[in-house]
Structure 1
Amino acid sequence: MAHIVIMGAGLGGMPAAYELRALLPPEHQVTVVNPSDTFQFTPSNPWVAVGWRERSVVTLPIAPMLERKGIRFVASGASSIDPAANRVTLENGQSLEYDYLVITTGPKLSFDEVPGAGPHGGHTHSICTVGHAEMFWAEYQKFLEAPGPIVVGAMPGASCFGPAYEFAFILDADLRRRKLRHKVPMTYVTAEPYIGHLGLGGVGDSKSMLESELRGHDIKWITSARTTKVEPGTLFTTQLDDQGKVVKEHEVPFKLAMMLPAFKGVDAVAGVADLCNPRGFVLIDEHQRSRKYRNIFSAGVCVAIPPVEATPVPSGAPKTGYMIETMVTAIAHNIADELAGRPATAKGTWNAICLADMGDTGAAFVALPQIPPRNVNWFKKGKWVHYAKIAFEKYFMRKMKTGNSDPIYEKYVLKALGIVRLADRG
C-alpha cells in the first residue's frame, strides 16, 4: 500500500486528490493537508470584495467532501518536509509518512517586499484570499459614504495580473451602478512594461484592447512601475523606461488601494534543500516531478516557471487554471503509472487560457503555448465572457461538491472558446 500526501487544498490540491482517488486502487491511501478547513474558489474573490458574492457562495467545507470519496483530510499547515525520511511534519505536531508527496500549496503572499503594503498592518488591500476580499468589502462600504481616489494594480515581482485588471473594471462597474463613479479618480499601477502584457508578453491585441478599455472607463495608468513604499493615502512608485532608467517618480494619492503582491514559495517548501529556486518555487521536470527528489511532485502557483521575457521591473509568468489542471492530471497519471510498474510519461502544459470578468462584460485570452512563438495567440472581449465566468464558478463549485475528476478546461472551456473563434471567422 502506498500513501500519497497532498499539501494544499485549493484549485490544484482538491482536483489532484479527486483524480488520484479515481485512478488508484482502494488499497492506496490519499491524505490532504491544508491550513484551513475550507476550500476557497479564488477566482470569485474580486466579486466578494465589492459585495457581489458572500463567503458562503465561494467556499466549501473540505472534510466532508473528501471523506465521501475515501480521502483523509488533516486541517493543519506543514511546518517542515524531510525528504530523506519521506516525512511531513505539521504545525499541529503531527507527522505523516509518505510514499509520494504532491505539493500544491499555492504561494506565500510577499507583502513585506514593499514597506507599508498589505492588509495586515499595511495600507493596501489584496484579493488573494476570501478573507482579504472581505476586508476590502468592509472598508469599501465605509468608502462609499465618502468616496475618493482608488489605486489598483500589481507590485514589482507580481505574476498574476489578470485579477488586477478584473478588479479595476469590476470596481468601475460597481461605482457606476451606484452613480458614484464621477467622485472616484482611478489609477492602475503595474509592474508590467505595458498595458496588456499580463506577464505573457501580450496576447493577441491585448495591449491596444486593454488600453482602449482603460481609456473608455477613465482609468489612468502607470506601467513599468517599481513601487517602493506605501504610506497612509500615498503610493510611491518609480516609473522606468525600456532600458530600466528612471522616467518619473510618482506619488499616487488614494483613499482605497488594492495592489496584488509578489509571490514566494511557502516556508515549509522553500526550506527544503535543492527542492526550490531562490524564491521558494519548486523546480520540476516535464513530468511535474522534483528534479532532486523523485517521489515529490508539484503543480500550480508554487512551481518554478521562468518569466516569458526580461522586463524593466521584474514580473513573473502567471499559472492559469488550464495550466494547473493539466499539471494535476499529469501528476495523477504519473503516480498511478509508477505504482502499476509503468514509467511516468504524462506531461502538463504551459498553455494559458483565462476568462477575465470586467463587471458587465469580459475578456478571454488564449496563448498556446504560453511562451512565444505561439500556435494560438488570441484575445477577445464580449459580454459572453462575463456570463462564462459565472457559469465556470458554478460548475467548478459543483465539481468540488461532487468530487468529479473530469478536466473542466479540456472538456468544456477549450471547446467553447473554439466555437467562439469559429464564429469570429464567420
Structure 2
Amino acid sequence: MAHVVVLGAGLGGTIMAYELRDALGRQHRISVVNKGSRYSFVPSNPWVAVGWRSREAIEVDLTKVFEKRGIDLHPQGAAKVHPKEKQVELSDGARLSYDYLVIATGPDLAFDEIEGFGPAANSQSVCHVDHALQAKEAFDRLVANPGPVVIGAVQGASCFGPAYEFAFILDKALRDARVRDRVPMTFVTSEPYVGHLGLDGVGDTKGLLESELRQHHIKWICNARVDRIEPGMLHASEIAEDGTVREVHAVPQSFMMMLPAFRGVEAVRGIEGLTNPRGFILVDEHQRNPAYPDVFGIGVCVAIPPVGKTPVPVGVPKTGFMIESMVTATAHNIARLVEGKAPDAQGTWNAVCLADFGDSGIAFVAQPQIPPRNVNWSASGKWVHTAKIGFEKYFLHKIRSGQSEPFYEKLALQVLGIDKLKEVRIGGGTGAPQA
C-alpha cells in the first residue's frame, strides 16, 4: 500500500486529494496536512471585503467529505518537510511518513518586505478570508467617512487579476453607497503597463483595462516600486526603463488594498534542491522535483520564471485552469509510479480567467499561458459577472461533494468551446520551466 501525503487544502490541494483517490482507488492511503479543517474559496474574497459574501458562504468544512472519501486530515498543519527522510513534521511535533508527497501549500505573503505594509500595519488585503473580513471593517469606515483610495499590487507580485477585480468591485460598492463622488481612486501597480497581468498581456487586456479605468474615473501609476506605507499615505517610486527613478509619488489614502509578493511557505523554504531562493518548489515537466523524485509540486507554490525583464519585478500568475491541469497530470503520474511505471503526463499550462468588476468584467484565454500563444483572446461584458457567480457556486459544490471532475464540468467546457484547454499531455511535448 502506498501512502500519498498532500500538503495544503486550498484550490489545488483539495482537488489533488480527490483526483488521487479516483486514480489510486481505496487500496492506497491518502492524507492531507492543512492548517485547520476548512476550505475557503479565495476568488470570492473581494466580494467578502465589501460585504457581498460572508465567511460561511465561501467556506467548506472538509472533515466529513474527506471521511466519506477515505482521506485522512491532519488539521494541525506542517512545521517542516524532511524530504531526505520522506517525512512531514507536523506543528505538534508528530511526523508523518510518505511514499509520495504533493506540495500544494499556496504562498507565504511577503508583507514584511515593505515598511508599513499589510493588514497588521497600514494596508488591507484580499488574499485570505480573515484579511477580507478586516478589509470589510475598513470599507465600512470609508463609507462613513469618504476619502482617497489606493488599490494595486507591489513589486514582485504575480497575481494581478484580484487587484483589478477589487478596484472595480469597490467602485461599484461605493456607487451603491452613494459616496463614490467623494472617493478619488488610484491604481498603483508594478506592471510595466495596465493589463500586463504578469503575462505580457492577453489579447487586448491593455486597451480593455485602460478603458475600464478611465470609464470608472480611476487614475493609475505603472512601474511602481512601493517604498513604504504610512497611515494616510503611500510612498512609491516610478521606475524608468533604465532602472532609474522617473518620479517619486506620495499618494494620499484613507483606504488601501495592495497585493503582496509571494514566496514559499516556511515549511519548505531553504531546503536545497527542493526550492529556489524564494522558496518556490522546483519541478520538471511532470510536476516532479528533480532532486527528490518522490516529491511533486502544484499550484502557486511552484517556481515559474517571469515572461521577460521589466523595470520593476513582476511574477507570473498561476491561474485556476493551470493548477487543475497540474493536478490531473500529477495524479496520473503518481498512479503510474505506484504501478512501477515512469511518469508521462504533463500539464498544458493554459489560462482561462474571469475577472469580475462588480456588474461587468473581463474574460481572457491564453493558450499557452506564457507567450507565444496559439490562442490569445480577451473580451468584456456583463456576462462575465454572471459567469463568475456561476463558477463560484459550481466550484464550492465540487468541494462539498468530493467530486474531482463531474460530468457537467466537461459539458460546460465543451459548450464554451475550450474543452481542450485542460487536456493533459501524455508523453512528449514542452513541459514546465524551472526557476
TM-score bracket for the superposition, by shorter chain length: over 0.9
Q: Which residue of 2 aligns with 1:357?
A: 356
Note the residue ranges of structure 2 that are not aligned, 5 or more in a row.
Answer: 419-435
Q: Which residue of 2 aligns with 1:202?
A: 201
Write out aligned runs for 1:86-105 (5 A). Answer: 86-105=86-105
Q: Which residue of 2 aligns with 1:35?
A: 35
Equivalents in 2 of 1:207, 1:240: separation in Å? 19
Structure 2 length-normalised TM? 0.94
Shift of 1:337: 1.1
Q: Is the 8 A contact 2:38 2:60 kept in 1?
A: yes
User: Which SS does the other structure have where 2:346 is aligned?
Assistant: coil
- The answer as to 2:213 corresponding to 1:228 is no
Write out aligned runs for 1:299-310 (5 A). Answer: 299-310=298-309
Aligned residue type for 1:386? H
Q: Which residue of 2 aligns with 1:3?
A: 3
Shift of 1:418: 2.7
Equivalents in 1 of 2:67, 2:26: separation in Å? 14
Aligned residue type for 1:312? P
User: What whole-Å deviation, never above 9, does each CA across 1:288-343 have from its counterpart, x for those lacking one?
Assistant: 00011000001000000010111100000000000000000111010011111222
Equivalents in 1 of 2:93, 2:308: separation in Å? 42
Q: Which residue of 1 aligns with 2:257?
A: 258
User: Which SS does the other structure have where 1:124 is aligned?
Assistant: coil
User: Which SS does the other structure have where 1:212 is aligned?
Assistant: helix
Write out aligned runs for 1:14-413 (5 A). Answer: 14-120=14-120, 122-406=121-405, 411=410
User: What whole-Å deviation, never above 9, does each CA across 1:52-82 have from its counterpart, x for those lacking one?
Assistant: 0000010011211211101000102211111
Identity of aligned residues (%): 57
Equivalents in 2 of 1:416, 1:179: separation in Å? 39
Q: Is the 8 A contact 1:80 1:271 kept in 2?
A: no
Equivalents in 2 of 1:408, 1:173: separation in Å? 35
Aligned residue type for 2:65? M
User: Which SS does the other structure have where 2:201 is aligned?
Assistant: coil
Q: Is the 8 A contact 1:322 1:409 kept in 2?
A: no
Equivalents in 1 of 2:23, 2:81: separation in Å? 26
Equivalents in 1 of 2:411, 2:173: separation in Å? 29
User: Which SS does the other structure have where 2:132 is aligned?
Assistant: helix
Q: Is the 8 A contact 1:106 1:301 kept in 2?
A: yes
Q: Is the 8 A contact 2:225 2:237 kept in 1?
A: yes
User: What whole-Å deviation, never above 9, does each CA across 1:191-250 have from its counterpart, x for those lacking one?
Assistant: 000000000001111111100110000000000000011011101000012222221100
Equivalents in 1 of 2:406, 2:321: separation in Å? 9
Q: Is the 8 A contact 2:62 2:400 kept in 1?
A: no
Equivalents in 1 of 2:107, 2:309: separation in Å? 22
Equivalents in 2 of 1:201, 1:407: separation in Å? 33
Compute the RMSD of aligned alpha carbons. 1.5
Equivalents in 2 of 1:317, 1:329: separation in Å? 21
Equivalents in 2 of 1:86, 1:240: separation in Å? 45
Q: Is the 8 A contact 2:270 2:277 kept in 1?
A: no
Q: Which residue of 1 aligns with 2:417?
A: 418
Equivalents in 2 of 1:144, 1:105: separation in Å? 35
Equivalents in 1 of 2:331, 2:80: separation in Å? 23
Equivalents in 2 of 1:4, 1:176: separation in Å? 50
Aligned residue type for 1:273? E
Aligned residue type for 1:57? A
Decide whether aligned partners of structure 1 residues 413 and 43 sit closer, same or farther in structure 2, where only a CA change above 3 A counts: farther
Decide whether aligned partners of structure 1 residues 352 and 59 sit closer, same or farther in structure 2, where only a CA change above 3 A counts: same
Equivalents in 1 of 2:241, 2:141: separation in Å? 40
User: What whole-Å deviation, never above 9, does each CA across 1:111-170 have from its counterpart, x for those lacking one?
Assistant: 0111100001x1011100000000000121122111100100001000000000000000
Q: Is the 8 A contact 2:225 2:238 kept in 1?
A: yes
Decide whether aligned partners of structure 1 residues 128 and 299 sit closer, same or farther in structure 2, where only a CA change above 3 A counts: same
Q: Is the 8 A contact 1:325 1:407 kept in 2?
A: no
Equivalents in 2 of 1:234, 1:372: separation in Å? 37
Q: Is the 8 A contact 2:281 2:297 kept in 1?
A: yes
Note the residue ranges of structure 1 that are not aligned, 5 or more in a row.
Answer: 420-426
Equivalents in 2 of 1:104, 1:152: separation in Å? 28
Equivalents in 2 of 1:184, 1:416: separation in Å? 41
User: Which SS does the other structure have where 1:292 is aligned?
Assistant: coil
- After the TM superposition, list the runs of 4 or more consecutive aligned residues in structure 1 that deviate by more than 3 angstroms: 407-410, 412-417
Q: Is the 8 A contact 1:240 1:246 kept in 2?
A: yes
Shift of 1:25: 2.8
Q: Is the 8 A contact 1:81 1:88 kept in 2?
A: yes
Equivalents in 1 of 2:180, 2:407: separation in Å? 37
Count of residue pairs brought into register by the alignment: 419
